[in-house]
Chains A and B, each alone.
Chain A
Amino acid sequence: MALTLEQVEHIAALARLRLTAEEKARYREQLSAILDYMAKLRQLDTRTAAIEPTATVLPLRTVLRPDEVTPSLPPEELLANAPAAEAQMFRVPPVLE
Chain B
Amino acid sequence: MTLTDLTLHEAAALLREGKTTSLELTEACLARIDSLDPTLRAFLTTTPDLAHAAARAADKRIADWRPHSASDHPLHPLTGIPLAIKDVLCLKGTRTTAGSRILENFVAPYTATAVQRLLDAGVVILGKTNCDEFAMGSSTENSGYGVTHNPWDAARVPGGSSGGSAAAVAARMAFGALGTDTGGSVRQPASFCGIVGLKTSYGRVSRYGLIAYGSSLDSIGPLARTVADAALIFGAIAGHDPRDATSMPTPVPDVSLDSKDLEGVRVGVPKEYFIVGVQREVEAAVRAAIRGLEALGAQAVEISLPHTEYALPAYYLIAPAEASANLARFDGVRYGPRVETRHYSPRSEAERGGASLLWDVYLDTRGERFGPEVKRRIMLGTYALSAGYYDAYYGQAQKVRTLIKRDFEEAFKSVDVIACPVAPTTAFKIGEKTDDPLAMYLEDVFTLPPSLAGICGLSVPCGFDRNRLPVGLQLLGPAFGEATVLRVGRAYEQATEWHKQTPNL
Contacts and interface: CB of A to CB of B under 8 A. Distances in A.
Contact of A41 (B314, B366, B479): B314
B336 A83 contact: yes
Interface string A30-44: 110111011011111
A55 B23 CA distance: 46
Interface stretch (B106-114, B149-157, B169-177): B106-114
Interface residues of B, number: 76
A53 to B, nearest CB: 3
Given A34-B380, A57-B405, A40 B313 contact: yes
Interface in B400-439: 400-403, 405, 437-438
Contacts of B203: 57-58
A41 B400 contact: yes
Given A12-B379, A31-B380, A83-B338, A54 B401 contact: yes
Given A27-B375, A83-B337, A63 B361 contact: no
Interface stretch (B55-63, B241-249, B282-290): B241-249
B interface, over-half SS: helix
A31 B379 contact: yes
A7 B382 CA distance: 11
Interface of B: 105-107, 109-110, 202-203, 216, 242, 245-246, 248, 307, 309-310, 312-314, 316-317, 324, 328, 331-338, 340, 344, 346-347, 352, 356-364, 366-368, 370, 372, 375-376, 378-380, 382-383, 386, 392-393, 395-403, 405, 437-438, 441, 452-454, 479
Interface of A: 7-8, 11-12, 14-19, 23, 27, 30-31, 33-35, 37-38, 40-44, 46, 51-58, 63, 65, 73, 77-78, 80-84, 90, 92-97
Given A23-B375, A35-B383, A81-B334, 18 more contacts: A11-B382, A15-B382, A16-B331, A16-B359, A16-B366, A34-B316, A40-B310, A41-B317, A42-B392, A42-B396, A51-B399, A51-B403, A52-B399, A52-B402, A73-B110, A81-B106, A82-B334, A97-B346
> 4 shortest A-B CB distances, which residue pairs?
A57-B454, A18-B367, A53-B398, A83-B338
